Amino acid sequence: MADRVAPLDLIDVDSLHSEEELQIRAVVRRLVADRVRPYVADWYERGEVPVRELAKEFGALGLLGMHLSGYSCAGASAVAYGLACMELEAGDSGLRSLVSVQGSLAMFAIWRYGSEAQKEQWLPAMAAGDAIGCFGLTEPDHGSDPASMKTRARRDGDDWILTGTKMWITNAPVADVAVVWARTEDGINGFVVPTETPGVSARTIKHKLSLRASVTGELVLDEVRLPADAVLPTARGLKVPLSCLTEARYGIVWGALGAARDCLDTAIDYATTRVQFDRPIAGFQLTQAKLADSALELEKGYLLALHLGRRADAGALRPQQVSVGKLNNVREALTIARQCRTILGANGISAEYPVMRHAANLETVLTYEGTSEIHQLVVGQQLTGLSAFAS
């Protein structure tokens, strides 16, 4: 038997990275091997995950708000952050979601649009994993079309009164602080809401068949009284929460590759040891075709992610380019996961192997942070100059 080459080594992607990037990748890969892989199938089956414990461990390694600077954040490059997302999602999409929501949504919103006092109050604690954040944009009746949101904030003297319901909010039931988007008489504004404030409650969403190693909730804001300085002072208009989503989607471009890589590694290991008709199933041409096609898509997705990461580090990444990456890499990761599942036969549907878990998770990843259809429309608008969104 000839030597085996790992899918991403086929085109030698390591040669495209600096030593520092490879070291960061190795550190996160080890963390996932030690602290995630042995436990994640059980968390997934029970639908329970030790978010606080993990957040502190991720914080200690500098993974929370990793690409932000100052306020105890690591100030890493976009590529290094992407590699961390890839390794985390090779463990489970739920854990990458924890890091994305904390760093790219909640912390980024405060870091980019918050007052100095808001930054000082929240960012160091969030970077350490001592405070958990969530990001409330989606509502029960408004997902892809957040411009129609019903959540309202009105003035009462100097205070704000916030009322509405946010749905499908990652970490809402365990969060210490929620960044909530609401309509005011000036348009859409962001509010920093400590979850202990009277009138704030969160219900855990049960019965999920995807992203089970992640806590998801409904966030209810019932006449929540907030001080004048709860508003994010420089956040005006829908483009602001959308800019936060661009940050998080960039992490998904890399993260989805991690899930796909783990599926492919598992399928190759399985196929080389599973014997049918007196030979390893990896020796059948149909199996090799699946593995080869999957490896190709993984490699192409990697080159795309790296290109976008280098553009981000050069300060030149546009949101539409992130849509290209999210649309392609999540869609292809899902195809790879499904192909790999077939290679494992009946074992492919078991939680003893990670493949079905990744495939189920990727169904969420396909939908959140802009559905695949919405990203097609973004790309379509770029190509034609015509918006297919507007009613």
Ligand X SMILES: Cc1cc2nc3c(=O)[nH]c(=O)nc-3n(C[C@H](O)[C@H](O)[C@H](O)COP(=O)(O)OP(=O)(O)OC[C@H]3O[C@@H](n4cnc5c(N)ncnc54)[C@H](O)[C@@H]3O)c2cc1C
For tokens 């809401």, the residue is 193
Least distance (Å) from ligand X to the CB of residue 375? 9
- Binding window for ligand X (CB under 6 A); candidates: 4-12, 18-26, 164-172, 293-301: 164-172
Q: Which of 163, 201, 272, 371 binds ligand X (CB under 6 A)?
A: 371
Least separation in angstroms between residue 143's CB and ligand X is 2
Give the residue at shortest CB distance from ligand X. 143
- Per-residue contact string for residues 172-191; x = within reach of ligand X by CB under 6 A: --------------------
Give yes or no for residue 367 binding ligand X (CB under 6 A).
yes
368 in contact with ligand X (CB under 6 A): yes
Question: Mind spelling out the 3-state secondary structure of the chain?
Answer: CCCCCCHHHCCCHHHHCCHHHHHHHHHHHHHHHHHHCCCHHHHHHHCCCCHHHHHHHHHHCCCCCCCCCCCCCCCCCHHHHHHHHHHHHHHCHHHHHHHHHHHHHHHHHHHHHCCHHHHHHHHHHHHHCCCCEEEECCECCECCCHHHCCCEEEEECCEEEEEEEEEEEECHHHCCEEEEEEEECCEEEEEEEECCCCCEEEEECCCCCCCCCCCEEEEEEEEEEECHHHECCCCCCCHHHHHHHHHHHHHHHHHHHHHHHHHHHHHHHHHHHCEECCEEHHHCHHHHHHHHHHHHHHHHHHHHHHHHHHHHHCCCCCHHHHHHHHHHHHHHHHHHHHHHHHHCHHHHHCCCCCHHHHHHHHHHHHHCCCCHHHHHHHHHHHHHCCCCCCC
Question: Considering the complex, what minimum distance in angstroms separates the CB of residue 374 from ligand X?
Answer: 5
Is there binding between residue 135 and ligand X (CB under 6 A)?
Answer: yes
**Site for ligand X contains 216 (CB under 6 A):** yes
Binding ligand X (rule: CB under 6 A), the pick from 93, 102, 361, 364 is 364
Q: Is residue 323 within the footprint of ligand X (CB under 6 A)?
A: no
Strand partners, 386: none
**Any contact of residue 108 with ligand X (CB under 6 A)?**
no
Is residue 369 part of the annotated active site? The answer reads yes
Is residue 13 packed enough to be buried (19+ CB in 10 Å), middle (13-18) or exposed (0-12)?
middle
Alpha-carbon distance 31 to 160, whole Å?
A: 42
Is 169 among the residues that bind ligand X (CB under 6 A)? Answer: yes
Tracing tokens 């849509």 back to the chain, one arrives at 323
Can residue 151 be called a binding residue for ligand X (CB under 6 A)? no
Residue with smaller CB distance to ligand X, 168 or 254: 168
Binding-site member from 85, 98, 101, 359 for ligand X (CB under 6 A):
101
Looking at the Cβ atoms of 73 and 374, the one nearer to ligand X is 374
Terminal-residue alpha carbon distance, the chain: 60
Stretch that binds ligand X, among 17-25, 132-140, 275-283, 298-306 (CB under 6 A): 132-140
374 binding ligand X? (CB under 6 A): yes
Q: With binding defined as CB under 6 A, does residue 144 bind ligand X?
A: yes
What is the rounded (10 degree) CA torsion for 102, 103, 109, 115? 100
Instruction: Give CA–CA dist 372/362, Å, rounded.
Output: 12
* Beta carbon of residue 90, minimum distance to ligand X (angstroms, whole number): 19
From 87, 89, 332, 369, active-site residue: 369
Stretch near ligand X under the rule CB under 6 A, chosen from 68-76, 77-85, 110-118, 134-142: 134-142
Q: Please, what is the minimum distance in Å from the beta carbon of residue 368 to ligand X?
A: 4
Of the pair 14, 389, the CB lying nearest ligand X is at 389
Binding residue for ligand X (CB under 6 A) from 137, 178, 193, 240?
A: 137
CB of residue 9 to ligand X, shortest distance in Å: 33
Q: How many residues does the chain have?
A: 391
Q: Quick one: 106 or 281, whose CB is closer to ligand X?
A: 106
- The binder of ligand X chosen from 10, 75, 373, 382 (CB under 6 A): 373
CB of 348 to ligand X, least distance (A): 23
Q: Does 126 bind ligand X (CB under 6 A)?
A: no
- Catalytic residue numbers, as ranges: 369
Which residues are at the interface with ligand X (CB under 6 A)?
101, 135-138, 143-144, 168-170, 211, 216, 364, 367-369, 371, 373-374, 377, 389
